[in-house]
Structure formats: C-alpha cells, structure tokens
C-alpha cells in the first residue's frame, strides 16, 4: 500500500513518462521516470527520503553518500533526516570520485543513496568507492528501482518504489523494430 502511495506521488508530479527512451545504461524503454519532476518539490522529496532514513535509522550511518546530480538532493534530504553528514561523488573522466574535500574515514559507517536503479551500475561504483576509502557500508537506499529484478548489492537494499518496467537491448527493442522515434529524455550522458 505504501509503495502505491509513492507511485501515485510520482504520477501526480508528471514524473512517469511514455515514449521511446534511451537510458543511461544503453538500454531502451517505453517508460521513463523523470525523478526531477518530483525532486523539484522539496516537501515531497523530504517525504520520500524520510522512508529511506527511517528504514536505515537503526544502522546509525555517520555519512550519507550520493552521486551527482540526483543523488546530491537525496543525500541531503536523508542526511538532514538522520542528522548526519551528506557527501556526493562526481563523475570525472567517466569515473565517480570524491572531490571538494569530501572524504570517507576508515571504518566510517556509510549509507549509499541514489535516485533510480536500472542496472545498478552507479551503485556498484559507489560501493567500490566506499571500500576503497575503507568505509563500512550500512546499506543502499533508492527512490526507485526499475530494474525488474532483485539486484544484489551485497548489502541491505531498500528502494522506496519498485516499478516493473521492461527494458530492451537496442537490437531487441520492439520500439526500434516499429520505427518509433526516440524521445529526447532518458539519458544523462554518463
């Protein structure tokens, strides 16, 4: 029921779009969730991010780590809710790294957050980054899981909303086969 309530919030904000989308993963889909349609409303963002914070509160993270750009907003909201530090990684030459004086101290308890999971690629990079710094991973929280499967990040994983949205390799895409033109949204250029 709770999942349905949050799905309705995404629908009401106009965040769930239909078309022919090229996703950051390189896959194609007929549905795209434009999380920034929701993230533009701080109160709604706080309501959804509180779900992540409440879920991981007992893990007592000392830092929340997100990835630029959407992950920055989510990290801030979850960090505010848990009254802890919030940092983010940025992509430089195709790799997620910490900049701006951000650090993860050895043994520090880190909660990783992200906006939308399709393949989990960015999350895996953040997991590697935390490990590289010697941090202790407390879990992964996301706004949306649109992977259509049970992704194993090797730690507790909590998506606020799970969508079962089909994705296709370009060579198997029915939208391509029917010559449906690409919709401009759907790829961040990672």
pLDDT digits (tens, 9 = 90+) for 10-49: 888 888 899 999 987 788 999 988 889 999 999 999 999 9
133 pLDDT exceeds 60? Answer: yes
Please answer whether residues 109 and 79 qualify as being in contact, where contact means their C-beta atoms are separated by less than 8 angstroms: no
What is residue 28's three-state secondary structure? strand
Does the residue 52 lie in any domain?
Answer: yes
Model pLDDT for residues 111-120, shown as the tens digit of each residue? 999 998 888 8
140 pLDDT exceeds 60? Answer: yes
Please give the helix or strand (H or E) that residue 22 lies within, else none: strand 16-22
Q: What is the CATH number of the domain that holds 126?
A: 3.40.50.2020
Q: What is the span of the domain harbouring residue 42?
A: 2-177
The full length of the chain comes to: 190
Q: What is the pTM of this model?
A: 0.87
Domain count, the chain: 1
Does the residue 77 lie in any domain?
Answer: yes
Please answer whether residues 95 and 123 qualify as being in contact, where contact means their C-beta atoms are separated by less than 8 angstroms: no
Model pLDDT for residues 42-79, shown as the tens digit of each residue? 999 999 999 999 999 999 999 999 999 889 999 999 99
Over residues 151-160, mean pLDDT: 95
């Amino acid at each position: 029921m709770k999942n349905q309530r949050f799905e309705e919030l995404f629908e009401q904000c106009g965040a769930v779009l239909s078309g022919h989308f090229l996703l950051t993963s390189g896959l194609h889909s007929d549905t795209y969730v434009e999380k920034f349609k929701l993230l533009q409303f701080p109160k709604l963002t706080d309501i959804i991010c509180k779900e992540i914070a409440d879920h991981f509160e007992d893990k007592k993270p000392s830092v929340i780590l997100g990835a630029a750009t959407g992950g920055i907003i989510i990290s801030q909201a979850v960090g505010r809710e848990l009254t802890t530090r919030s940092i983010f990684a940025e992509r430089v030459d195709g790799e997620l790294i910490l900049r701006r004086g951000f650090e993860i101290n050895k043994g520090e308890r880190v909660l990783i957050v992200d906006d939308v999971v399709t393949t989990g690629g960015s999350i895996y990079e953040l997991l590697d980054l935390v490990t590289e710094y010697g941090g202790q991973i407390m879990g992964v929280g996301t706004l949306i899981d649109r992977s259509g499967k049970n992704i194993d990040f090797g730690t507790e994983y909590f998506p606020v909303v799970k969508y079962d949205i089909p994705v296709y390799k370009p060579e198997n895409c029915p939208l391509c086969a029917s010559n449906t033109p690409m919709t401009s949204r759907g790829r961040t250029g990672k």
